[in-house]
């Protein structure tokens, strides 16, 4: 990898400031609902503990907009992390200031401290130089292990690198290595599964992958913009009217380049998007005038599986139905389960709902790489540079 990593520096008896992404969902009682991102940071934290560093972790949580919001304090994260590490994590009451400096000075090498929510300070999102300087004063070395925020410019992931030696943590390194390999040296056939609500969210990804893949499998709400552009009636299904010509252009380009775009041949249709709504599976030629498409049907699942079974490299982003409602998540789950059965393939997936589906079936352990990023994952697939990654020092 072109960027410096933890392996390139000596951390022993150093104060190491680590940007993590612990922006995790919390339950109504304030406990952590999903610890996926916290667990992803453990290799970096454990390495620093073993190598006798003072470990100062920092993250944001939610959108407090520069104000202290009690329900967005980092205490539940500290508790969950402590359970995972099997060691105490000292959570501080701020992320800068005299008390923070004192706590770090009094900490022992191997201790883990967690700063309070970075976004309680406006300077974080504004990439304020003075705020970045105050954060930097807490450490001797800066480690960026927060891939999920790498597409954002903030004081804690870009501004801070002006004041400290900066390297990638093991999670960041893993993300960059796996995603770069998929984009630059994929084994063919290469198939991309794209879902989610909007074509507009995926135009950049489609454009960048157009010369790399053999097939796009398209589901989710975005498929109806493609179907309508082909002349199908889609009822009241989600459609971006201003993207009909874009969808048409994508299909024409794919045809010219001999790339298959596999659209649904059948869908699950309802009168309203509710769990209790009566649902029926119909071929796409028979979508009711008042119908709303909420999932891919069994024929579509079969056609997707056929393509995936031939692939050597698979990238997946976006659910294939209205995933939030269990009744309409079957298509997404069927494909997730199928991917877990495939052997000898490189499979990379990212995006909250996609990851949730893979984890529900325990498939996450069988996948080559599950990204912790949503927006950052998409930007990387678009071939865009991510500011926080650019800010990390180059190895040369």
Among all residues, which ones are annotated catalytic? 37, 198, 352, 375
* Residue closest to 239 by CA, chosen among 252, 249, 229: 229
Closest CA to 55 of 75, 40, 76, 41: 41
Helix (H/G/I), strand (E/B), else coil: 182: helix
Query: Cβ distance 377 to 153 under 8 Å?
Result: no
In the block, residue with structure tokens 């190895």: 395
Q: Where does 127-219 show beta strands of DSSP type E?
A: 141-144, 166-168, 190-194, 215-218
The order of strands in the sheet holding 141-144 is 89-91, 112-114, 54-58, 15-19, 141-144, 166-168
d(CA 225, CA 243): 7
Give the 3-state secondary structure of residue 195: coil
Helix, strand or coil, per DSSP, at residue 73? coil
At 308 the three-state DSSP class reads helix
**Tokens matching residue 294:** 């909420």
| CA distance linking residue 279 with residue 46, whole number of Å | 49
CA atoms within 13 A on the CB side of 300: 28
195/48 Cα distance (integer angstroms): 38
Q: Classify residue 211 as exposed, middle or buried by CB count within 10 Å of its CB (0-12, 13-18, 19+).
A: exposed
279 forms bridges with which residues in the sheet?
270
Q: How far is CA 39 from CA 138, 208, 350, in A?
A: 24, 31, 16
Q: How many CB atoms lie within 10 A of CB 54?
A: 23
Hey, is 64 helix, strand or coil? coil
Q: Which two tokens stand for residue 106?
A: 């009094």
């Amino acid at each position: 990898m072109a960027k410096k990593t933890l392996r390139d520096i000596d951390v022993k008896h150093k104060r190491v400031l680590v940007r993590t992404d612990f922006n995790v969902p919390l339950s109504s009682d304030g406990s952590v609902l999903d610890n996926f991102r916290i667990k992803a940071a453990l290799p970096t934290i454990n390495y620093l503990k073993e190598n006798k560093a003072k470990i100062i972790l920092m993250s944001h949580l939610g959108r407090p907009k520069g104000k202290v919001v009690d329900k967005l304090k980092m205490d539940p994260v500290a508790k969950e992390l402590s359970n995972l590490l099997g060691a105490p994590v000292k959570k501080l009451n701020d992320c800068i200031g005299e008390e923070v400096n004192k706590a770090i000075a009094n900490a022992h090498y191997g201790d883990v401290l967690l700063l309070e929510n970075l976004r309680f300070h406006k300077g974080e999102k504004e990439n304020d130089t003075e705020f970045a300087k105050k954060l930097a004063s807490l450490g001797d070395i800066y480690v960026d292990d927060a891939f999920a925020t790498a597409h954002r410019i903030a004081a804690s992931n870009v501004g801070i690198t002006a004041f400290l030696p900066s390297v990638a943590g093991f999670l960041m390194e893993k993300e960059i290595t796996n995603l770069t390999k998929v984009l630059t040296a994929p084994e063919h056939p290469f198939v991309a599964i794209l879902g989610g609500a909007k074509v507009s969210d995926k135009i950049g990804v489609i454009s960048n992958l157009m010369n790399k893949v053999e097939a796009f499998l398209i589901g989710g709400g975005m498929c109806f913009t493609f179907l309508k552009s082909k002349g199908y009636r889609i009822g009241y299904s989600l459609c971006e009217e201003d993207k009909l010509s874009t969808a048409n252009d994508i299909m024409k380009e794919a045809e010219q380049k001999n790339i298959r775009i596999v659209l649904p041949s059948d869908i699950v249709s309802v009168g309203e998007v509710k769990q209790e709504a009566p649902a029926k599976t119909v071929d796409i030629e028979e979508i009711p005038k008042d119908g709303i498409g909420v999932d891919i049907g069994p024929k579509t699942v079969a056609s997707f599986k056929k393509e995936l079974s031939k692939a050597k490299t698979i990238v997946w982003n976006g659910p294939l139905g209205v995933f939030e409602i269990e009744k309409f998540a079957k298509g997404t789950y069927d494909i997730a389960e199928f991917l877990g059965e495939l052997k000898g393939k490189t499979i990379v997936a990212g995006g909250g709902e996609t990851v949730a589906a893979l984890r529900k079936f325990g498939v996450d352990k069988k996948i080559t790489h599950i990204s912790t990023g949503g927006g950052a994952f998409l930007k990387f697939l678009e071939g865009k540079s991510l500011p926080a990654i650019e800010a990390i020092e180059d190895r040369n």
